[in-house]
Amino acid sequence: MNVEHPSLWLKKEIVDAIRSTAREAEALRHLHPVQRELVHREGWLKMLVPKNFGGLELTLLEVLQIEEALAWTDGSTAWVVTLCAGAAWFGGFLHQELAKEIFSIDLAFFAGSGASTGTAEIIPNGYLLNGSWKYASGSLHANVFTANFIIHENGKPKLQSNGVPLIRPFVMKKEEVTVLNTWNSMGMVATASHSFEIKNVAVGTERAFDINAAAVVIDKPIYYYPFLQLAETTLSVNLSGLAIRFIDLFEETVARPTQHLYQGLAQRARKKLDNRRKEFYRRVELSWKSCIQKKKTPKATLQKVSEASQALAKQSLLIVDQLYPHCGLSAADQNREINRVWRNIHTASQHSLFKWR
């Protein structure tokens, strides 16, 4: 299949508005108000939320195109949308009365962590929650948090039949958690990916949920798509969007008498990346069609999606690292967009889902 340049997937006025405030967003160390307003206005945080809850209910391919285009526009904005829209996807597994309550919140904004660094002690009618988590992108803007907890009973981890501790994700409200100012990364500065903690908060049993096909409570294809591949695909297009933007800026940066030499580098880089993008989108499309038809995707097909996602991420980072030495000192200037893109992709690439070996 053919892949387009991400510029064709977003309106120019939206791109201009996000980019024109990106530098100030870094100074603020969180998304600029203009960026947040656009995120809410366009409904990007509810891309994976069903229409009956006010969501866009987009297909996986549509979500990936928007996120890749946003990454091409601005890394921090894209990352927040990706991670926070991904957390809102959990709405398909929540107790429906709770989901209605959450999505009725004006400008519902999810943030969270997949790390199992909390404990949920079983108490009468619910759980007592304690724990702390790192790297919750969008934490300063969030009013809903999700995280994984190890279930405890009588002070000890509750074991499953296979002897492994039982872990379940929970939903928490903004007033129940404390955000800790810990995000000091060189890139993705405006994502505000701070830590958060919860201490001795009692919640009802409806706050716990499970993420698997058997636990789906909203009968929509997107909730039957496995979470691992959903995460891998959405994160990978963040890197490819950043790489495409880096190539664009590289071509602008090296405009000099020997430009034809550098144009060749850029053209080869773009071709390599587009080949990976074609294979990636082809694999995703096949898996999505299977999910729609059967509400289940064969393991072999999902494995191909994972491989294509990792290959796209690796190619994206490799291209940036190959082009960067030719950019001169101007690319080392932190006030220039090309430097911000370089910092962003090297920060985003440290996510634990990416496998570099």
Identify whether 120 is part of a domain. yes
pLDDT for position 255: 65
Same domain for 246 and 335: yes
Domain end position, chosen among 92, 118, 139: 92
CB 111 within 8 A of CB 87: yes
CB 85 within 8 A of CB 146: no
Q: How many Å apart are CA 88 and CA 68, to the nearest integer?
A: 19
CB-based contacts of 160, cutoff 8 Å, min separation 6: 166
Same domain for 255 and 179: no
Report the candidate in 123, 33, 137, 119 with the shortest Cα–Cα distance to residue 80: 137
Same domain for 229 and 209: no
Paired residues of 159 in beta bridges: 165
Tens of pLDDT, residue by residue over 230-286, are 999 999 999 999 999 999 999 988 866 556 667 789 999 999 999 999 999 999 999
Same domain for 119 and 183: yes
Same domain for 192 and 237: no
Same domain for 291 and 184: no
pLDDT for position 260: 65
pLDDT for position 356: 85
State the residue range of the domain holding 261: 221-348
Tens of pLDDT, residue by residue over 56-78, are 999 999 999 999 999 999 999 99
Same domain for 186 and 142: yes
Tens of pLDDT, residue by residue over 292-338, are 998 889 999 999 999 999 999 999 999 999 999 999 898 999 999 99
Identify whether 99 is part of a domain. no
Residue 148 is part of a domain; what is its CATH number? Answer: 2.40.110.10
Identify whether 276 is part of a domain. yes
Higher model confidence: residue 255 or residue 211? 211
Q: How many Å apart are CA 223 and CA 48, to the nearest integer?
A: 9
Identify whether 183 is part of a domain. yes
Residue 265, SS3?
A: helix
Pairing of strands 144-153, 156-157: antiparallel
Tens of pLDDT, residue by residue over 151-181, are 999 999 999 999 999 999 999 999 999 999 9
Q: How many Å apart are CA 265 and CA 219, to the nearest integer?
A: 48
Residue 10 is part of a domain; what is its CATH number? Answer: 1.10.540.10
Tens of pLDDT, residue by residue over 20-54, are 999 999 999 999 999 999 999 999 999 999 888 88
pLDDT for position 256: 62
Neighbours of 353 (CB within 10 A): 15
Identify whether 322 is part of a domain. yes
Same domain for 209 and 231: no
In this structure, what are the phi and psi dihedrals at residue 98, rounded to the nearest 5 degrees? -65, -40
Residue 294 is part of a domain; what is its CATH number? Answer: 1.20.140.10
pLDDT for position 257: 52
Looking up tokens 């995703």, which residue turns up? 284
Q: Which amino acid is at 342?
A: W
The pLDDT of residue 150 is above 80:
yes
Going through 174-326 in order, the beta strands assigned E by DSSP cover 178-180, 194-204
Same domain for 286 and 230: yes
Same domain for 253 and 186: no
Domain count along the chain? 3
Report the candidate in 192, 136, 146, 152 with the shortest Cα–Cα distance to residue 170: 146
Domain end position, chosen among 48, 65, 92: 92
Same domain for 234 and 331: yes
Neighbours of 98 (CB within 10 A): 15
Identify whether 22 is part of a domain. yes
Same domain for 170 and 246: no
Structure confidence at residue 3 as a pLDDT band (50, 70, 90): confident
Identify whether 291 is part of a domain. yes
Identify whether 19 is part of a domain. yes
Q: How many Å apart are CA 312 and CA 233, to the nearest integer?
A: 9
Tell me the helices (H) and strands (E) count for the chain, helix number first.
10, 8
Domain end position, chosen among 158, 182, 215: 215
